[in-house]
């Protein structure tokens, strides 16, 4: 099997399907950003820093096997997710019932 970079998993069709389903579930319960605990604008375009983005609890760079597991995703603002990078979050809001 040819080697693939970890983030290649996030460009495939299965990631888009998973992300869309996760976004739908989050929108239904109006889930807040798990990083800053503020409302997410689910209407915002992807170009908006306040728009929804699926964040990986365990970063893809260190846990590629969890990249496509919905239980490893949390709702976040695009700006929060990008700002966080691969740093772990201490004491952040967590829920066990997402998976």
If binding is defined by CB under 5 A, does position 31 make contact with Zn ion? no
Task: Tell me the C-alpha distance between 91 and 94, whole Å.
Answer: 8
Residue nearest to Zn ion (CB): 33
Residue 51, C-beta contacts closer than 8 angstroms, at least 6 positions apart: 40, 41, 42, 44, 45, 77, 78
If binding is defined by CB under 5 A, does position 77 make contact with Zn ion? yes
Residue 76, C-beta contacts closer than 8 angstroms, at least 6 positions apart: 33, 34, 35, 40, 52, 53, 54, 55, 84
If binding is defined by CB under 5 A, does position 80 make contact with Zn ion? yes
Window 37-76: residues binding Zn ion (CB under 5 A): none
- Shortest distance, CB of residue 22 to Zn ion, whole angstroms? 16
Which of 33, 54, 60, 73 contacts Zn ion by CB under 5 A? Answer: 33
Which of 9, 15, 25, 36 contacts Zn ion by CB under 5 A? Answer: 36
Q: Which residues bind Zn ion (CB under 5 A)?
A: 33, 35-36, 77, 80
């Amino acid at each position: 099997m040819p080697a693939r970079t970890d983030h290649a998993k996030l460009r495939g069709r299965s990631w888009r399907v998973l992300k869309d389903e996760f976004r739908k579930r989050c929108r239904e319960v109006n889930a807040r950003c798990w990083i800053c605990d503020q409302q997410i604008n689910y209407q915002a375009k992807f170009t908006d820093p306040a728009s929804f983005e699926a964040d990986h609890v365990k970063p893809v760079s260190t846990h590629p096997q969890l990249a496509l597991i919905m239980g490893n995703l949390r709702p976040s603002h695009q700006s929060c997710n990008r700002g966080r990078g691969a740093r772990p979050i201490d004491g952040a809001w967590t829920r066990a019932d997402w998976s």
